[in-house]
Structures are given as C-alpha cells and as structure tokens.
A and B are shown apart, each in its own frame.
Chain A
Amino acid sequence: MTAVAFKTSETVDFVVIGSGAAGGVMAKELAVAGFSVVVLEQGPYLTAKDFTHDEIKFAVHNALTNDPAHQPVTYRQHEGEVAKPFKAIEYGRQVGGGTVHFTGNYWRFHESDFHERSLHGTIAGTSFADWPIRYADLEPYYTKAEEELGVSGLAGANPFDAPRSKPYPLPPMPVKSSGVLFERATTKLGLHPYPAPVAILSQPYRGRAACVNCGMCELFGCEMGAKSSTLVSVIPIAEKTGRCEIRPNSYVRKIETDARGRVTGAIYFDAQRQEVLQRARVVVLCANGVESAKLLLLSKSQHFPHGLANSSGLVGKNLMWDSGSESSGLFEQPLNEFKGIQVTRLIQDYYAADPRRGFYGGGAIDARFDFYPAGFALSGLPDDIPKWGLEYKKAVGQYFTRTMTLLSHTTSLPLEKNNVSLDPTMKDAWGLPAARITFDMHPDDIATMRWLVAREREILEAAGATKVWSAPIEPIEPNMMPSRHLMGTCRMGTDPRKSVVDPFGHAHDVPNLFIVDGSNFVTSARQQPTATIQALAYRAAEHIVRKARAGELG
C-alpha cells in the first residue's frame, strides 16, 4: 500500500504530522511538487474492508476516534478545578483522520467570517479578532479542494453564499424526506433552504464510485470510497508519486529542535512503542486543534522553555467548541431517514450575527437524522417517553422511521481561558501527559443556541410535526457533547505577540516549522470547519513549496 519507505536515518524534505483533512492535502501537494515526505499518523491505516456497518463498533464505541482507554482526556469547566477524565474532544484517529468518519458537510465560510471583529466591534473578555486573510485569499483554494476531493452541491442555491469562481464539481445528493419537509417549512417561513454541499460523491468521480445511500456516513468509514476523505482522494495520489511514505501507528511525542532553534525532525513511538527519530528539513504539523497544541507544549527545550513556537504564550489557548443545538420532530408518515446521507437541506438565513438579537452570534440550521437504530433507542426519544418496558419499545418502533432532527451549528467565541494544556497528573498509555481541556461557554454562545432552538421549533412546527422536543443546552455539564471541531489553539495573525503562526501557517518563532489545521482558526464561523481547514492547507502548501524551492526553508 505504501509506495516508498524512507530510512529513519535519512533526512527527508518534510515530515507531516497527522494525515487528516490538512495533513492528507499537505502530503499530496508536497509530494507532487517533488519533495520527499514522511507522514506520521497516530492511528492505523484502514481500507475499505475495515469499514463495515457495525453500529456497536463504530457508533457506540466510536472505533474511528481517539480512545480514552489509551489516550485519556481530562476536562474542567474553570481554571482552578481539578480536571476529571472525560472525552471532551473527539478526533479521527487513522490515516485520513476525521475525514474518514465525518458527516461530510462541506461549507465555505462567508466573507464576513474573516472580519467579524471589524463588523461587530470588541466583545469584552474575549479574543474576538479579524483573520489576517480575507475570503478572496482563500476562494481559489476552496475551489481546488472541492475539485480534488469531490464535493456535491448546487452553486447559487444559497443566497447568503460568498462568490464562487466555479460551480461544485458534482450535482447535489438526492433529497430525503427530512429535506423535503424542511424545504416546505422554511419556504413557508420566508427562509432560503438549499441543497447541502457535502464531500460525498453524487456521481462517479475520478475513478471513485458514487454514493449508494447506505445511510451510514457519520462515525462510519465509507466502504464504497464515496465519502471524499483524504484517505481515498489525495493520499493515494501522494503515494503514487513514490516520494511520500504514510507511516501509520506513529505517535509523535516531540518535535526535535537544535541549539539554533530550528526543527530537526520528530520523535515518535512506533507500533511497538519504541522511540524513533525521523529527521526532516521541515516539519508541518497537521495533528488537529488539540493534538497540535499538545505536541507543541510537549516539545519544550532549552530554547523553547514554554513549548515550541510559543513565545506569544498562545499555544493551546482560544480553543473554540463544536457548538450547536438540536430539536427533533415526529411526523405522521415514515421518513425512513436511515436511508441516504445524513443532511440534504439547510438554511443560512440566521448565519450572520445581528446586534438586534442582543448578543453576538449566529448559526446555520440543517435537517438531518444522524441516529442509528440502537443509538436512537438509547438517546433519540423525547424525555416524556418511559425508558423501558412495552410503552418504550412501542415508542422506539413508532419514532425511529418518523423522526427528523434540526441541528444548529453555532458560533463559539475565542477566549484565552478556554484552552488545551498538559494534565499535571493523568498520563496516556505511552506515558505522555493527557490533553487537559478547560472550557466554558461564553454567555453569547449560550444565548445564540437558545435563540436558535426557538427557530428550530418554529420550523418543525411549520413542517407539521405532531410533536417537537429539544435537547437541553444548560447546564453545560452534563449536557455538553464532545467537541469534534477543534479550532483556535494556534491562531494565525501577523503580530507574533498575538498569534502563533503567520497567514500561511508558518510558526512565527521557528523558521522551518509550519502548523496547518483547525488550530489556525481565529474565529469559529458557524462550524463545519473541514472545507476551510483544507483550503488553508492548499494555500499553505503552495506557499511552502514556493519557499522550499527558493531555498528559504533550509
């Protein structure tokens, strides 16, 4: 499967740490440009045969994500508390990373997302800021990502979308009953529903098969290869160059530096938990918004006493959450939402922040069903249904095919006190400190969710739901879901005192280190970060190639 194997004694041009949304793109771009690349991936190298429809394995035990039995995560709401073991964050842990098990939602940011601070002013107690780039800087790379990975959608269907230079490469996926009901209801309410853009193939594309509507996208790998993970799209191209080695089961514990403050390679635990040093001229860290920060904090040295690339003190800070709210509705006739991809319609009418609401924030609402049979029976029913016995059983039978959910994807303000740090006592199975998450919602984030729950209910009622119920928002604990969108912990900017990397992911403090993933985000937009992570990766890769060819990276 791997086209080339480098010796660890060899100094390769690039080590890329992480093979997910960003790492997969980075590996492909660098290898195609002619450089030697070793990709170090924590997780295994899985293939289509590993992707079954086993709900217990993939959706109950979340087999494609970080396993807290081996890699504990601790969580606390406030600094000063002792963090307790809780899987507060979840990420894809295999070659392809989160793009293997994600739902496939693939939204571009809006133009306003890049300069909301200028639009709305400061927000006390937050690090709310403009991005150092604008939508126009990223547009060509969104287009490239959509084309290379394979994204289905309908250009021009969303009146709130930013301008596009090209239509989606593939037409939208077939609409489901949830999409039809949602479309009717939102149109009645004067809103603007449109077909969900998704990284799932509606038609065969570049040698890959089209989706067969099996219904098992979220949390599952796609045995058809129709979900546009980096595993099935760009990584095979990287390997075909003969210059890129994907090295799975390689868990990096330190990015090594020399006395001059330059990166020299990465030390990782191999599958046998032996320590290995892979030397490289340049390291590109694409390990996700939590693991990248954790690794930088672990990579202390005499030269970098507070962690690598951390002269700003901002590594790990400004962690933003996968915020959202959800309501469900019961309908008279079967929707059979278990068929087809999770999301086929959404609205972005409430996306922009509006000061008249009295708080900062906004969101998009999609119509979906992301339950599987057992998960639905365990957590999909309204609270007033008995939890066991004949009435419970009958309700599962009545509700399973007749329920749809509206999910709002909402803003998460950046706050320095929300962060990733190294747990002082908890260790993982390799003896490394566990990632400690300190996170509390900003009141405006809660207000946004509360406001959007009301919108969800209006839509479900307009759709003719015979019953509507909503998931609780507060208290944060125990109602908080693990965050799967890991953003903000190595934010980009032009001022080295206020950011970790420059607008191309180049670490301000280290001449041959780049950090490119969700950690670069300055603000959260309205979730669904994958398209933007990948556009940033394409843009950064082009810059890195240019610099490397000019001999500027050493």
Chain B
Amino acid sequence: MPNLTRRDWILGSLAASAWPAIAAAQQHAHQAVASGSATALEHFDASTARDVAAIATRIIPSDDGPGAMDAGAVYFIDRALMTFAADQRALYAHGLTELRARREKLLPGSASFADLTVGQQMSLLRSIETTDFFAVVREHTVLAWLGSPEYGGNRGGVGWKYIGFDDRGFFTPPFGFYDAS
C-alpha cells in the first residue's frame, strides 16, 4: 500500500461510482481554508483595535515566524465579539478600561498600549495575566492563530504551517517518524 499514490489509494479503496461523492465531501470539509481575509472592523474602533492587536502580538509574537498579527487575530476577535463571543463584549470593555487605568498609573503620559515598548507591554500584561480578561484574550488569540480560517484568523493557514499541522484531510501511512521506521 505505501507504494501507491494517495489518489490511487483512495480510488482503490472505493467503488468507482462512489468517488465523485467522496471527492465532494472532502472538498467541502476543506473549503474553510480558502476563505477568510476580511479587513473591516465591526466591533472595535481603530484605536481599540490597535491595542487588542498589540496584546495579541505579545501573546503570539512574530519574532521567529508568523504569529497573531500575521494570522489576523484582531479581525478574528472583532468578528468573534460580533458572533459566538458576543456575550464577552463587556468583559473586553471592562478589561481594556482596567488596562488603560493601569497604564496611565504606571506610565503617566503614555499614549496607548500599542505605543508602549515591548518590555513595557510585557510587564503590563504580566500584571493582569491571572484575570478573566487576559484568559479570554489569550484563548481568542490562540483560536485566531490556529483555528479554522473561515473565522477570519489563521490567514493562509500561517498558524498551522508554523506548528506543522497539515489540513489536507486525507493521509496515507506512514504518518510520522516512528511508524515509518
């Protein structure tokens, strides 16, 4: 079986008449990858979006390869708050207000979270890392990085590529190093 090509193997495993239906099912299961690149914001205003993007960037930075920014995290979060996470809008609003108050107290005169140095951003986030707000932003950022692209994040599958996940949806053995050896 390992000598067959993927297509031969799938075709060989089916009655010929079933093949078009299977191909359609597979294509459907993966259509998510093709979509998702909106750049319009519906929930956040521009300055809030800059701050949220900056928080997401600290959670999954881009130093060694595509991170939250490249995945389009702020667009994912914006859309999430308009859809499945609508009940977390207040948590975001409250969390961002608190963060602003902390920033103004610790760094008087600073313009915004997004305009702080990376070090300042890190220490400010460390001071809130046990809050519900941070937990939710972290979760949303990870979903934006590695979730299904149709939600507006993981653009071009950048998160999946970084971790080595392949969304092809059909595989033939060997799958990994140890079953190949």
Contact = CB atoms under 8 A, between A and B. Distances in A.
Contacts of B142: 374, 377-378
Contacts of B163: 373, 377, 396-397, 400-401
Contacts, number: 165
B169 A214 contact: yes
Interface string B54-73: 00001111011101000000
Contacts of B63: 390
Interface stretch (A22-30, A127-135, A174-182, A237-245): A174-182
B139 A176 contact: no
B178 A213 contact: no
B105 interface: no
Given A52-B32, A176-B179, A177-B179, A61 B171 contact: no
Interface string A27-62: 000000000000000000000110111111100110
Interface string A381-403: 00000011110111011001100
A157 B6 CA distance: 29
B177 A214 contact: no
Nearest to A54: B148
Nearest to A464: B178
Contact of B150 (A49, A54, A223): A54
A336 B169 contact: no
Closest 3 CB pairs of A and B: A177-B176, A333-B177, A212-B170
14 contacts: A49-B25, A177-B175, A209-B13, A212-B171, A224-B22, A334-B176, A338-B166, A339-B166, A374-B146, A378-B139, A388-B138, A389-B58, A401-B164, A401-B176
A396 B63 CA distance: 15
A337 interface: yes
A210 B28 contact: no
Given A180-B178, A400-B163, A54 B32 contact: yes
A59 to B, nearest CB: 10
Contacts of B32: 52-54
B4 to A, nearest CB: 13
A334 B176 CA distance: 6
A168 interface: no
Contacts of B160: 373
Contacts of A52: 28-29, 31-32, 148
Interface in A313-339: 331, 333-339
Contact of B59 (A49, A216, A389): A389
B14 A210 contact: yes
B8 to A, nearest CB: 13
A53 B29 contact: yes
A210 B13 contact: yes
Contacts of B84: 56, 61
A203 interface: yes
Contact of B164 (A174, A210, A400): A400
B47 interface: no
A234 B163 CA distance: 39
Given A60-B147, A336-B164, A373-B159, A204 B15 contact: yes
Nearest to B55: A388
A392 B64 CA distance: 12
A214 to B, nearest CB: 5
Nearest to B19: A209
Contacts of A174: 173, 175, 179
